[in-house]
């Protein structure tokens, strides 16, 4: 019995062997960086977008100790970074939204991060001291197309607008807004990182989801699903809080209660080239 299972065990082992794929960008924050460093041009994230008018990233970010890092931060000695929103997190006069999002520094919308076959890694952790208001819909990570017409994937939580959300305390990963396909969902558990890797095939127009919690190795949780990831654009990591009761253009109307003090912690943001099949399931 055990012998007959041996080949299976061996092939699983070879899958989880650490491999260092070629990186497209690395958003893991070196321990010698401080929040203030994100107000000026840096190699990690854009210093300009997306942040409330008159705010700076140093006021919207909180760096956590290296030891609090996610799966792919720990060996790399990287600091997880919390993204915060307040009543002032109004970007570009979008008074219906509250938002603050990190965009990788090299991701200008027309770069190679949205070409070929790439795997996007990121991890998210709740802040129990600065909880989200689950009466609202939040986007926590997404790719926005270069012409701003769509999101090719969106990780959401809370009460999703226009849907019957059974449990708003859920992470729901949707494919392109154009068809609204739910790719994967899982409980948003306090006290642990939720690790995602999205294998984005910009030629075949598919998305395959890998997931784990804590320090567990990533496992494939979907096939390579048809999903229109065309249109290039920028990857966003942070909070985009939508209003309740909005009509029409909800960037401009709807209700946002005052006194917002909310955050989500991000770790292990990086992207690797998977054109040759390389994907890191462990560090
Ligand atoms: C991968 O990179 C890490 C960090 O630089 C290094 O410690 C490790 O030896 C590398 N692994 C391989 C297989 O090259
Ligand atoms: C959460 O949001 C709802 C809808 O905007 C609001 O009525 C409620 O007061 C909010 N709760 C808190 C604790 O802010």
Give the pLDDT of residue 77: 94
As a whole number of angstroms, the distance between CA 272 and CA 116 comes to: 11
Break the chain into its structural domains and give their ranges: 26-115+123-195+228-269
Residue closest by Cα to atom 3 of ligand 2: 135
pLDDT-based confidence at residue 227 (cuts at 50, 70, 90)? very high
The mean pLDDT of 36-42, rounded to a whole number, is: 97
Give the pLDDT of residue 178: 87
For the CA of 133, the closest atom of ligand 2 is 1
Q: Quickly tell me which residue has 């209700």 as its tokens.
A: 255
pLDDT-based confidence at residue 131 (cuts at 50, 70, 90)? very high
SS (H, E, C) 203-263: CCCEEEEEEEECCCCCEECCCCEECCCCCCEEEEEEEEECCECCCCCCCCCCECCCCCCEE
- Residue 173: pLDDT over 60: yes
CA of 128 to the centre of ligand 2 (A): 16
Is 135 touching ligand 2 by the criterion CB < 6 Å? yes
For the domain covering 26-115+123-195+228-269, report its CATH number: 2.60.120.1160
Q: Quickly tell me which residue has 């219906």 as its tokens.
A: 96
Residues 196-213: tens digit of each pLDDT: 999 999 999 999 999 999
Ligand whose nearest atom lies closest to the CA of 244: 2
């Amino acid at each position: 019995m055990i012998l007959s299972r041996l080949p299976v065990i061996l092939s699983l082992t070879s899958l989880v062997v650490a491999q260092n794929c070629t990186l497209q960008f690395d958003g893991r924050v070196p321990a010698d960086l401080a929040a203030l460093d994100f107000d000026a041009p840096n190699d990690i994230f854009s210093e300009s977008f997306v942040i409330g008018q008159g705010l700076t990233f140093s006021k919207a970010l909180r760096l956590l100790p290296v030891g609090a890092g996610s799966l792919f931060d720990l060996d790399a000695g990287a600091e997880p970074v919390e993204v915060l929103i307040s009543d002032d997190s109004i970007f570009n006069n979008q008074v219906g939204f509250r938002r603050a999002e990190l965009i990788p520094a090299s991701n200008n919308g027309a770069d190679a991060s949205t070409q070929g076959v790439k795997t996007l890694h990121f991890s998210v952790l709740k802040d129990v001291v600065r909880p989200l208001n689950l009466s609202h819909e939040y986007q926590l990570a997404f790719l926005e197309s270069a012409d701003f017409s769509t999101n090719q994937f969106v990780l959401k939580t809370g009460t999703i607008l226009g849907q019957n959300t059974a449990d708003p305390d859920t992470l729901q990963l949707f494919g392109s807004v154009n068809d609204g396909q739910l790719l994967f969902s899982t409980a948003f558990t306090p006290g642990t990182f939720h690790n995602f890797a999205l294998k984005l095939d910009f030629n075949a127009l598919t998305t395959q989801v890998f997931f784990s919690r804590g320090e567990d190795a990533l496992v494939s949780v979907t096939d390579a699903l048809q999903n229109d990831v065309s249109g290039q654009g920028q990857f966003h990591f942070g909070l985009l809080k939508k209003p309740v009761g909005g009509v029409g253009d909800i960037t401009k109307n709807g209700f946002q209660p005052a006194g917002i003090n909310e955050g989500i912690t991000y770790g292990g943001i990086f992207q690797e080239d998977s054109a040759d099949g390389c994907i890191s399931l462990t560090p």
